Structure 1
Amino acid sequence: MNSRPLYWFPLAIIAVLAGLSAWLQFAVNTTQPGVLGSGLHIADYMIERFMVSRTNLAGQVIYTLHADRAEHYLDDDTTQLTKPHLVANDDQQGSADIRSTRALVTAQGKQVNFIGHVVLVRDARDAQGPMTLTTEYLEAIPDQRIMRTDRPVLVQGKSIKMTAGGLELNNQTQILQLTHRVKARYEPI
C-alpha cells in the first residue's frame, strides 16, 4: 500500500489556500481599472430615511440631520443626501432650519454642502420674526455654526428684503455678512 497520496493531499490544499491568499492581496491592493479595488466612486452602503443627531456633553441636541436617502462612498469618505433637512438648535442664540434638494457631507461630517433650491429659516421664535434665506448652494459647518454661499441669495424678514451675490451667517454671533451686489429694502416696524 502506498501512503504518498495521503501526504500530498494536505500539501495541495495548503498550496491552493496560499495561492488564493496571494491573489486576494493583489486584488485588494491594485489600482488598475477594471480590477477589484480600482478606486471607483461607488457607494458602499445606502440608508433610507436617514437621521443623525449631535449632542453636547449635557445630552442636549445641538443639531439633527435628516434625509430621505443617504449614500456613503468609501473612496473619499463622503455621503450624498437626498432631500436633506438640518435643524440646528441653540436656546440662547436661536435656531436654523435648512432644506434643499440634495447635499454632500464631507469626511467625518465636518461640512454639509446643500445643493439645489436651498431654503434656510433662521430663528422662527425671534420677536422680529423669522428670517428666510433662499439660494442654490449653501455650505454649513455645523460644529462652528457657520453657513455661507458665494451664489446669489435672497434674504427676507418681517420688515426687510435683501439680495446679494453671497453671504456668511454665524449663528453663534448672529452676524450676517452680505457680499457684492447687495441691495436692501427696509421698512420700519
Structure 2
Amino acid sequence: MSGRAYFSSPLIFLIILVLLTFWLDLLTRPSEQNKNDNVYPNPDYIVEDLSGIRVDHEQDIQRKFSAQKLVHYLGDKVTHLAQASFTNIDPENPLLRLQADQAEIKNKGEDIYLTGNVFAVRGTDDEKNKLTLKTDYLHLIPDENLVKTDQAVIITRLNTTIHATGLEFNNRVGMIQLMSKVSAINN
C-alpha cells in the first residue's frame, strides 16, 4: 500500500458541492442594511395646527399641548413637533407652561425633549412669585412634574436674574437645583 492519501470521486464531488452552496448563499443574500438607515424614510402621518388635552380625573390634573405641525415616523417611535407648547395644570402646584421651536415625544409621552428657544413659565403672569426660564434644550418628564437640562439656562424671578449651566427643576416641590457656573444679578 502506498503512503498517498486516497480520495474517492464522490467525496471530492461532495466537498465541491458544499463549497458551491456556501458561495451561492453569499451571492444571493440581501445586503445588510446599516442600522442607522431608516427603513421608513417618509412620515406615516402629518398633522398641522393641532391641540390636545390629557386629563387625570383622580388627581384633577390637566396637561394641554399644541403645535403648528406634528410629524410621526413609523420606524422611529418618536413624534416630532414644530412650534410646540405644553401646559401642566395641577391644583396642588403652580401652573407650568413651556414653549419651544421643536419637541420630540418619546416613550409614549413619558419623555419630551424641547429644543430651540425653550421658554418656561411657572405661575401666572399676575403672580409675584412668577418664575421664567430660558434655554436651548429641556427634558420634560410630565408624570414626575420635572424638567432637566445640561445646557446654559437663564432664570428670572422678581428682580433677580440667574445664569447657570445645567438645572433640575421639580415643580411638584418647587425646588430648583443648579448644576454649575451659577451667577446671580439683582436688578
SS at match of 2:143: coil
Pairwise CA distance, 1:126: 7.4
Q: Which has the larger radius of gyration?
A: 2
For residue 107 of structure 1, what is the amino acid of its counterpart? Answer: N
Report how far residue 125 of structure 1 moved: 5.9
Gaps of 5+ in 1: 1-29
- More divergent stretch after superposition (112-121 vs 59-68): 59-68
Task: Kindly indicate whether the alpha-carbon contact (under 8 Å) linking 2:40 and 2:74 is maintained by their aligned counterparts in 1.
Answer: no
Separation (CA, whole Å) in 2 of partners of 1:100 and 1:139: 11
Tell me the matched-pair count.
154
Q: Which amino acid aligns with 1:173?
A: V
Identify the structure with the greater strand proportion.
2
Equivalent-residue separation in structure 2 for 1:125 and 1:100 (angstroms): 19
Structure 1 partner of 2:98 = 98
RMSD of equivalent CA atoms: 2.2
User: TM-score, length-normalised on structure 1?
Assistant: 0.74
Unpaired runs of at least 5, structure 2: 1-29
Partner residue of 1:83?
83
CA displacement 1:111-168 (0-9 Å, x = unmatched): 1111100010111267433111000011101111100110000000113210001101
What TM-score do the two structures reach when normalised by structure 2? 0.75
Q: 1:168 to 1:31 in 2, by over 3 A?
A: farther
CA shift at 1:32, angstroms?
Answer: 6.3
Is residue 130 of structure 2 the alignment partner of residue 133 of structure 1?
no
| 1:117 match | 117
Alpha-carbon shift at residue 53 of structure 1 (Å): 1.7
Contact 1:76–1:107 (8 Å) recurs in 2: no
Q: Deviations over 1:42-80 (max 9, x none)?
A: 311111112222211348442111101101111121100
Structure 1 position 53 matched with structure 2 position 27: no
